[in-house]
Each structure stands twice: as structure tokens, then as C-alpha cells.
Structure 1
Amino acid sequence: MTILQSQARQVFYSSILRLVGYGLMLITIINLLFLLIKAEISPLSEFQTMIAIMERIPFALMGMVLIFYGGRSDRSFVEAIIFKFLSWVSLMTAVVLILVIPLNINNSWQIYHQHNATADGQFVMLKDNLQRFKEQLTAANSKNEISALLQQQAKQIVNIPESANIEKLKTDLIANLQNNQDNLNNQEQAFRAQKRSLLLQQCLRFNFGALISSILFLMIWKTTEWAR
């Protein structure tokens, strides 16, 4: 293979890589536009949008690397302008990624409180109802009172046999209610722990991803000084 053939092949491969780079950048831009268009102004929506954007950052990084591959060789005047623009875009992206980290932490904190409010809405009323029913059963002293309480809860007629031991019945019912309360407390703790763990994982993943991506974009800007 002659030197000219080797150079021609290198130019061909470089052109293919650059074309792939432009394609990746175009796909990334389209995806980002759609994400931003449908985004809403709320902590949860902003949090989800930023995570979705972070998942597409590697494509932008790869696209930039492929576009800048080969330096100035075999470039048109239009590409020189694109290089200069992308070089500054890499710097702006690095700055934006650093700035959104505090925003992401703030959104995570607000979402955490929203999850707690959701847990309160789901479990506090149930716990209060169980506790109230337990107190009413404890205060009941006759078969008729216990029967009325059971009918109120079951929304249907409840017949207690004449031979039933009222004290034993009360004890069994209260013990069953206590088990239900314990199970409900365990469900509430599991719900809160699951939401907190998932939120923390997503927050840390985004923050570390944003920090690393910011450093990489900054390195691209630094190493493409020739394009500016």
C-alpha cells in the first residue's frame, strides 16, 4: 500500500467517523428538544427531565469526540465555523451541568417531602381508624356494643352467639387489631424507605454523572483551543 493510498484510506475513515459524530449530535439535539418541550415546572418533572437528559449526555460526548477527530485536516470553511461553535458549546455545557447539581439536590429534597406527604395521606388515616376502633372496643362492655362496633366496621349485620365469652372476644379482637397496626407500621416504614432509597440513588447518580460529564466537556473545550 502506497503512502497516498494510506492517506486516502485515513481520510475516508475520518470522514465516516465525523459523519457518525454529526449524526449522534443531531439525534441528541432532537431528543433534548422533545424532553424540554414536554417538561413541566415542578420538582418531580424537573428531576425526571434532568435524569433523562443525563442519560443522553454520553451520546453528545461521543458525537463531539468523533466530530473533532482528525483536527483541521480536510475540513471545509463551514466545518471550521461548526468547530468553533461546538468548542464554546462544550464550555457552556460544562458550566450548566455544574450549576444544575444544586437544583437537582433541591428538587430531590422537595420530592422527598412530597413522598412523606403521600405516605401520611395513605397511612395516617388508616392508623387513626384502627386506633379509634381499638379504643372503642376496649371501652365496650356488652355484647350489643361489640356487635354494633363490628357492624359499623363491616358494613353488614354481625351476630355474636349468646354463648360467646365477651372478654375473650374483646381480647381476640384487640390482639387482631394490634397485629394489623403492626403490619401497617411495617408497610409504612417499607414504603418510606423504598422511596427514600430510590430517590437517593437517582440523585447521586445524576450528580456524579453531571460532575464527570462537566469535567469531560471542559477537557474537550480545553483541547479544542485550535478550533477557536
Structure 2
Amino acid sequence: MTKSHSDKFVSSVQDFAFSQEGSTMILRCLGYGLLVLALFDVVEMFVPPNFMNPAWEFQTIGALVERVPVPLIGLAFVFYGEMNFRKRWEFPVLKVLSWLALVMGVIYILSIPLGVINAARLQRQSSTQINVLSKQQINRAEQVKKQIDLATPEQIDNLLKRQGRSLELEPEKLKQRLLGEVSQAKQKIKSQAKATESSRGLNLLKKAVKWNLGAVVAGILCINIWKGTDWARMN
């Protein structure tokens, strides 16, 4: 290889190294920025905290899972290139971030049983609320039925007149029709309660499955990042 060719080769290698350094610095800056933005999200989620509230805990776990791509991408960008082109202040930061990845992984894994428990508690609460509301509506229907049973033909006629209606049927037939409408209303209340409970239960189940599986994936990825950055903890 002639001297001119050797110089050109060295120059091209230097140019490539400089271009790699610039690209690496851009990725790392982007990674640090994404981690800061992820920190803002976490602070917003936990302020104010409402621990022991199953709805808050369930939604918070879901929010952490939904937002996990941002810190994962941020960590990948920050650790890109390992120890090449690093500034002095980055060495302790990398060590902290490596251990933070492990902490994140453990938190996501531990959140799975909590998510299952909270989903079950929310399902019971929802069922209780629906049952209480439907019982209240059925009790009101029962009261209306008793009033109709005890009403005299004159009272029914007066009631219709106050509503601006006329007595189109015989009082006894009208009473039976009204009682039938009350019975239909009770059946409708029960069917609507069952449909609402089923719909809410399905939505809750879908969220629980999605967020718990997401927590598994997030936990594994974070732990793998920790395992793959042992070089950062050695410095």
C-alpha cells in the first residue's frame, strides 16, 4: 500500500470515527431527555399518592406499563456504545442507571400479583354497586306495585285526571295492565344489571390481562438491560 493510499485509509477511518461519535452523542442526549420526561410522568402519577385504594393502584400500574417504552428506549440510547466517547460525569450516572434498571424490573414483576388482587377487588366492588342500585330500583317498583294494588277505581281515575289522561279501560283492567308494566320494568332492571356487570367485568379483565402481561415483558426487559450493562457497574 502506497503512502497516499495509507493516508487516505487513515483519513477515512478518522472520518468514520468522528461521524460515529457525533451520532452516538445525539442518541445519548436523546436518551437522557427521554429518561427525564419519563421521570416527569412518574412524579405526576404518584402525586398525590392514594395507596390502599384499589382503583388508584390498578390505574397507576396500568399507567406505568403503558408508559414503559419511553424509559426503555431512553436506557437503550444512554447505554449505546458502552464506554466509548464518554464524558467523566457519565460514569457514576451509568452505574446508577444500571441498578435502576434492575429496580424497575423488580417493581414491574412485583406489581403483577398486586394487579391481580386489585382487579378482583374492583370486580367485587362493581358487582356490589350494581346489585345495590338494582335492588333500590326494584324496591321502588315494588312500592309502586303495592300502591296500584291498594288503589281504588276512584283513586286511579283521579290520578289519570291529574296527568291529563282519561280512563280508557275499566279500572280493574287498567290496574292489571299497570301491574304488568311494573313487572316488565322489574325484569328490565334485572337484565340491565346483568348486562352492565358483564360488560364492566369484561373490560376489567381485558385491562388486567393486558397490563399484567405488559408488566411481565417490562420486567424481563429491564432485568436484561441490567444484565447487559455489567460493564457500567464495574467502573
Same fold (TM over 0.5): yes
1:91-110 matches, cutoff 5 A: 91-110=102-121
Greater CA radius of gyration, 1 or 2? Answer: 2
Given the alignment, which residue of 112, 119, 143 partners 1:132?
143
Does structure 1 conserve the Cα–Cα contact (< 8 Å) formed by 2:55 and 2:122?
yes
TM-score by length of 2: 0.85
Q: 1:82 to 1:159 in 2, by over 3 A?
A: closer
Q: Which of 172-181 and 209-218 deviates more? A: 172-181
Given the alignment, which residue of 38, 44, 63 partners 1:52?
63
Does structure 1 conserve the Cα–Cα contact (< 8 Å) formed by 2:106 and 2:219?
yes
Does structure 1 conserve the Cα–Cα contact (< 8 Å) formed by 2:116 and 2:208?
yes
Would you say 1:25 and 2:30 are equivalent positions? no
Equivalent residue number for residue 49 of structure 2: 39
Given the alignment, which residue of 116, 129, 136 partners 1:118?
129
Equivalent residue number for residue 75 of structure 2: 64
Cα deviation 1:38-70 (Å, max 9, x = unaligned): 232311111122212222111010000011111
CA distance in 2, matches of 1:189, 1:179: 15
**Cα shift at 1:135:** 4.5
Does structure 1 conserve the Cα–Cα contact (< 8 Å) formed by 2:157 and 2:166?
no
**Cα shift at 1:117:** 2.5
CA distance in 2, matches of 1:30, 1:165: 72
- For 2:50, what is the secondary structure of its paired residue? coil
- For 1:75, what is the secondary structure of its paired residue? coil
* One-letter identity of the residue aligned with 1:187: Q
**Cα shift at 1:225:** 1.3
- For 2:67, what is the secondary structure of its paired residue? helix
**Cα shift at 1:145:** 5.3
CA distance in 1, matches of 2:100, 2:222: 9
Q: Which of 188-197 and 160-169 deviates more? A: 160-169
Q: Which of 214-223 and 178-187 deviates more? A: 178-187
Given the alignment, which residue of 3, 8, 13 partners 1:3?
13
CA distance in 2, matches of 1:163, 1:171: 13
1:206-217 matches, cutoff 5 A: 206-217=211-222
Equivalent residue number for residue 210 of structure 2: 205
Would you say 1:218 and 2:223 are equivalent positions? yes
| Root mean square deviation, CA, Å | 2.3
Runs in 1 of length 4+ with deviation above 4 angstroms? 145-148, 158-163
Does structure 1 conserve the Cα–Cα contact (< 8 Å) formed by 2:31 and 2:76?
yes
Q: How many residues align?
A: 222
Does structure 1 conserve the Cα–Cα contact (< 8 Å) formed by 2:157 and 2:167?
no
CA distance in 2, matches of 1:65, 1:147: 79
List runs of 5+ in structure 1 lacking aligned partners.
none
CA distance in 2, matches of 1:226, 1:141: 87
